[in-house]
């Protein structure tokens, strides 16, 4: 893609609106002044190339201190617009004090403005500002820039082209992973302990010995326990036999008591007392009647008529005889009562004796029953005799109990020791196994780092690309018949030892005595300085210019083809400032074919004062300066 039409309006020295139509060829950009045909400086050649840069990137000429400064002095607005060979149209316009307006019209896509337009424009060109400046624009007095620049700055520019970033990201990621793996490995290594096989064997033997001791004690303990149970049974039998004797004694005594209580017939006594009671009642009635009849001292007056009784004396005689009868009746009553009382007492006694007997008999029965139950124990004791003294046995049991406690404690300790040794051995074995697996993964990561790292793929990519660029540049020089070659190199060994491990990325201590990475064990290599060197075979100012130009054109060609960038316009400002005539002639004779064929630009603009250049390039952009500013014209 190239420029078909370019319009400048109040752009620096170009007043008014000026449009030129352009072809796909290489133009010499030349200037002359109406007042002085020999003057070609300060007329607007650089401003012309600056207009193309501004159109594509929006960046104003370096000489302008403000954005407004590019508008022609005295004018209120200006702009640059262009039509590209694919039909796209771009314009940047500005009114004093306002912001610059960008518009992009791409065929079939409509109009985009400002930031969106810039994004689409970068896509359309296939390059952004930095890429364009590094490849398609060679500014005045900047030709040797790439050769003379600080290697770090040069490396930064070229790093962008090489697209090493994905590889560097992969390398960083791998290093991060590796350091995690190494940390894991260190943790595992800490688990690997050297276990003395003798120690485990001894521990096992200790467990076996103490276990059989414990079993022995336990056996004796349970024998003793059985004996103790038998002994207790025996003693209980002895106790029961003793109790039997007691019951027997009680029984005999009670039997005697029962026998002493002669049983009394209750019924005849009850009958006799009843009869005595009736006799006493009859005696009491007779005595009462007689007492009533005898009464107190009678006064001789009839109680009915209340008159003096005519038979007073007879009555008094009868009274005397009745008194005698009463005395007799009283005596009878006394006898009857005492007989009754005797019988009643006898009956009460008989009841008491009967109750006592019943009670004693029940007690006797109880003794008998109890004693019957103890008969077995009596038999046992008769058979076995009394239990022997078991003090010794109990003492043995007490000693055994202590021995058992002691042995059980010892057994637990021995078991714990054996388990800890076994666990340690198991963990150690597992850690060793895990380390083996891990070792493979670690090696894989280290190899991968070596493959994608600075010394691997990154170096290879850089060397490959830069080799291509170097060859392109040398071809240009050879074709031009210039006796100069450039050598491009990448990542040279520096002085001293590496500060970081190439394999795992961990840092080395300041001391140079450490030759092996403490983390991953890799050998400490030399300090590598990643830098791009462009070394011309001859070091004159001219050689630097030629080397720079050839490198830049070759790099541009490579980058544009890599990016499939559509933009193919080279803008080169006064490349031959320092060249002698012979070299200038040699180079310019080949510039057209070099720009067009070798480096595949469609269009080129080459600012030059030199007549040799003008002769070599038939097409021209002619700038004529006057007091009213500069005007543009295309010739050829």
Ligand X SMILES: Nc1ncnc2c1ncn2[C@@H]1O[C@H](COP(=O)(O)OP(=O)(O)O)[C@@H](O)[C@H]1O
* Sheet with 603-607, side-by-side order of all strands: 137-138, 569-573, 603-607, 26-33, 619-626, 629-635
Contacts 24+ apart (CB under 8 A), 279-284: 279/336, 279/339, 279/340, 280/333, 280/336, 280/337, 280/339, 280/340, 282/336, 283/329, 283/332, 283/333, 283/335, 283/336, 283/337, 284/333, 284/336
DSSP string covering 213-248, please? HHHHHHHHHHHHHHHHHHHHHHHHHHHHHHHHHHHH
Minimum CB–partner distance for residue 139 and ligand X (Å): 11
Query: Is residue 458 a contact residue for Mg ion (CB under 5 A)?
Result: no
Query: Is residue 137 a contact residue for ligand X (CB under 6 A)?
Result: no
DSSP state of 500: B
For ligand X, give the closer residue by CB, 69 or 529.
69
For Mg ion, give the closer residue by CB, 45 or 154.
45
Tokens of 443: 């090696």
**Whole-Å CA distances, 415 to 93, 198, 577:** 92, 16, 94
Minimum CB–partner distance for residue 182 and ligand X (Å): 60
Tokens of 246: 């007691």
For ligand X, give the closer residue by CB, 31 or 466.
31
Q: Which of Mg ion, ligand X, none does residue 73 bind to, with CB < 5 to 8 Å depending on kind?
A: ligand X
Q: Which of ligand X, Mg ion, none does residue 92 bind to, with CB < 5 to 8 Å depending on kind?
A: none
Instruction: Number of residues interacting with ligand X: please give it, by CB under 6 A.
Output: 13
**Under 8 Å between Cβ of 59 and 129:** yes
Cα 505 to Cα 497: distance, rounded to the nearest angstrom: 14
Query: Is residue 100 a contact residue for ligand X (CB under 6 A)?
Result: no
Nearest Cα to 456, choosing from 404, 502, 524, 515? 502
Minimum CB–partner distance for residue 590 and ligand X (Å): 24
Interface mask toward ligand X for 475-494; x: CB under 6 A: --------------------
Minimum CB–partner distance for residue 33 and ligand X (Å): 10
The residue within the footprint of ligand X, chosen from 73, 201, 527, 539 (CB under 6 A), is: 73
**Under 8 Å between Cβ of 11 and 79:** yes
**Under 8 Å between Cβ of 486 and 208:** no
Cα 8 to Cα 243: distance, rounded to the nearest angstrom: 142
In sequence order, which residues have a C-beta less than 8 Å from that of residue 393 and are 6 or more positions away? 224, 227, 228, 231
The residue within the footprint of ligand X, chosen from 43, 182, 482, 519 (CB under 6 A), is: 43
Tokens of 366: 């109880």
Q: Which of ligand X, Mg ion, none does residue 288 bind to, with CB < 5 to 8 Å depending on kind?
A: none
User: CA gyration radius for the chain?
Assistant: 71
At 304, give phi and psi (nearest 5°). Answer: -90, -50
Cα 556 to Cα 136: distance, rounded to the nearest angstrom: 6
Minimum CB–partner distance for residue 621 and ligand X (Å): 12
Q: Which stretch binds ligand X (CB under 6 A): 35-43, 243-251, 439-447, 501-509?
A: 35-43
Element (H, E) at 335: helix 312-373
The residue within the footprint of Mg ion, chosen from 46, 81, 237, 458 (CB under 5 A), is: 46
**Whole-Å CA distances, 59 to 2, 80, 141, 436:** 19, 12, 19, 60
For ligand X, give the closer residue by CB, 73 or 443.
73
Q: Which stretch binds ligand X (CB under 6 A): 36-44, 286-294, 355-363, 524-532?
A: 36-44
Looking at 77-175, which runs of residues are DSSP E strands? Answer: 77-84, 89-95, 101-106, 110-113, 137-138
Q: Which stretch binds ligand X (CB under 6 A): 19-27, 65-73, 222-230, 338-346?
A: 65-73
The residue within the footprint of ligand X, chosen from 19, 21, 42, 483 (CB under 6 A), is: 42
Tokens of 475: 């071809």
For ligand X, give the closer residue by CB, 41 or 116.
41
Q: Which of ligand X, Mg ion, none does residue 527 bind to, with CB < 5 to 8 Å depending on kind?
A: none
Minimum CB–partner distance for residue 552 and ligand X (Å): 20
For Mg ion, give the closer residue by CB, 287 or 545.
545
Minimum CB–partner distance for residue 21 and Mg ion (Å): 24
The residue within the footprint of ligand X, chosen from 41, 317, 323, 348 (CB under 6 A), is: 41
**Bridge partners, residue 624, by sequence:** 32, 631
The residue within the footprint of ligand X, chosen from 72, 100, 118, 254 (CB under 6 A), is: 72
DSSP state of 389: -
Query: Is residue 30 a contact residue for Mg ion (CB under 5 A)?
Result: no
* Sheet with 110-113, side-by-side order of all strands: 14-21, 3-11, 77-84, 89-95, 101-106, 110-113
Minimum CB–partner distance for residue 457 and ligand X (Å): 44
Minimum CB–partner distance for residue 12 and ligand X (Å): 4
For ligand X, give the closer residue by CB, 251 or 625.
625
Nearest Cα to 603, choosing from 575, 569, 560? 569
Q: Which stretch binds Mg ion (CB under 5 A): 41-49, 280-288, 416-424, 544-552?
A: 41-49
Q: Which of ligand X, Mg ion, none does residue 47 bind to, with CB < 5 to 8 Å depending on kind?
A: ligand X
Cα 32 to Cα 42: distance, rounded to the nearest angstrom: 10
Q: Which of ligand X, Mg ion, none does residue 72 bind to, with CB < 5 to 8 Å depending on kind?
A: ligand X
For ligand X, give the closer residue by CB, 70 or 161.
70
Minimum CB–partner distance for residue 47 and ligand X (Å): 4
Minimum CB–partner distance for residue 610 and Mg ion (Å): 14
Minimum CB–partner distance for residue 142 and Mg ion (Å): 12
Minimum CB–partner distance for residue 45 and Mg ion (Å): 5
**With left for phi above 0 and alpha for psi between -120 and 50, is residue 180 left, alpha or beta?**
alpha
For Mg ion, give the closer residue by CB, 254 or 631.
631
In sequence order, which residues have a C-beta less than 8 Å from that of residue 66 and are 6 or more positions away? none
For ligand X, give the closer residue by CB, 73 or 345.
73
For ligand X, give the closer residue by CB, 421 or 607.
607
Query: Is residue 630 a contact residue for Mg ion (CB under 5 A)?
Result: no
The residue within the footprint of ligand X, chosen from 3, 33, 47, 88 (CB under 6 A), is: 47
Minimum CB–partner distance for residue 46 and ligand X (Å): 3
Cα 196 to Cα 216: distance, rounded to the nearest angstrom: 31
Q: Which of Mg ion, ligand X, none does residue 600 bind to, with CB < 5 to 8 Å depending on kind?
A: none
Minimum CB–partner distance for residue 48 and Mg ion (Å): 9
Binding region for ligand X (CB under 6 A): 12-13, 31, 41-47, 69, 72-73
């Amino acid at each position: 893609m190239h420029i078909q039409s370019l319009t400048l309006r109040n752009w620096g020295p170009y007043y008014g609106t000026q449009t030129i139509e352009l072809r796909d060829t290489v133009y010499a950009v030349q200037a002359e002044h109406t007042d002085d045909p020999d003057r070609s400086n300060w007329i607007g050649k650089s401003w012309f190339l600056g207009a193309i840069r501004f159109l594509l990137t929006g960046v104003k000429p370096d000489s302008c201190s403000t954005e407004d400064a590019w508008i022609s002095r005295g004018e209120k607005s200006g702009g640059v617009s262009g039509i590209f060979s694919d039909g796209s149209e771009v314009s940047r316009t500005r009114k004093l004090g306002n912001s610059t307006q960008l518009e992009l019209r791409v065929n079939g896509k409509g109009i985009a403005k400002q930031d969106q337009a810039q994004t689409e424009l970068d896509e359309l060109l296939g390059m952004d500002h930095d890429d364009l400046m590094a490849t398609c624009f060679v500014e005045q007095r900047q030709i040797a820039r790439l050769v003379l620049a600080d290697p770090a700055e040069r490396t930064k520019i070229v790093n962008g082209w090489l697209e090493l970033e994905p590889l560097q990201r992969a390398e960083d990621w791998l290093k991060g992973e590796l350091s995690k793996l190494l940390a894991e490995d260190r943790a595992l290594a800490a688990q690997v302990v050297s276990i003395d096989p003798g120690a485990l064997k001894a521990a096992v033997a200790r467990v076996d010995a103490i276990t059989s001791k414990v079993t022995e004690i336990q056996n004796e303990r349970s024998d003793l326990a059985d004996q103790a149970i038998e002994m207790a049974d025996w003693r209980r039998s002895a106790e029961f036999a003793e109790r039997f004797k007691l019951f027997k004694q009680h029984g005999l005594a009670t039997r005697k008591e029962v026998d002493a209580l002669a049983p009394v017939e209750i019924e005849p006594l009850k009958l006799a007392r009843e009869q005595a009671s009736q006799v006493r009642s009859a005696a009491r009635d007779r005595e009462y009647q007689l007492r009533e009849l005898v009464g107190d001292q009678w006064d001789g007056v009839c109680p009915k008529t209340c008159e003096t009784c005519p038979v007073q004396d007879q009555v008094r005689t009868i009274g005397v005889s009745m008194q005698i009868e009463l005395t007799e009746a009283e005596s009878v009553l006394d006898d009857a009562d005492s007989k009754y009382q005797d019988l009643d007492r006898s009956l009460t006694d008989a009841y008491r004796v009967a109750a006592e007997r019943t009670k004693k008999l029940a007690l006797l029965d109880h003794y008998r029953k109890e004693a019957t139950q103890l008969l077995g124990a009596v038999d046992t004791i008769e058979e076995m005799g009394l239990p022997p003294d078991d003090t010794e046995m109990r003492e043995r049991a007490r000693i055994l109990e202590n021995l058992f406690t002691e042995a059980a404690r010892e057994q637990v300790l021995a078991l714990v020791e054996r388990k800890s040794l076994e666990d340690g051995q198991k963990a150690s074995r597992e850690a060793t196994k895990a380390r083996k697996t891990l070792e493979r993964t670690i090696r894989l990561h280290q190899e991968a780092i070596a493959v994608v790292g600075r010394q691997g793929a990154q170096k290879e990519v850089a060397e490959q690309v830069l080799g291509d660029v170097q060859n392109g540049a040398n071809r240009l020089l050879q074709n031009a018949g210039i006796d100069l070659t450039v050598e491009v190199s990448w990542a040279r060994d520096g002085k001293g030892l590496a500060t970081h491990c190439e394999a795992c990325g961990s840092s080395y201590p300041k001391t140079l005595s450490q030759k092996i990475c403490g983390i991953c064990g890799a050998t400490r290599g030399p300090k590598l300085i990643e830098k791009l060197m462009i070394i011309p075979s001859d070091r004159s100012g001219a050689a630097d210019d030629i080397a720079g130009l050839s490198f830049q054109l070759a790099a541009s060609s490579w980058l544009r083809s890599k990016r499939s960038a559509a933009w193919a316009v080279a803008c080169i400002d006064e490349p031959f400032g320092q060249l002698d005539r012979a070299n200038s002639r040699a180079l310019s004779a080949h510039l057209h074919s070099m720009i067009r064929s070798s480096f595949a630009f469609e269009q080129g603009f080459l600012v030059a004062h030199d007549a040799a250049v003008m002769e070599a390039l038939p097409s021209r952009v002619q700038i004529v300066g006057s007091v009213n500013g500069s005007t543009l014209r295309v010739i050829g």
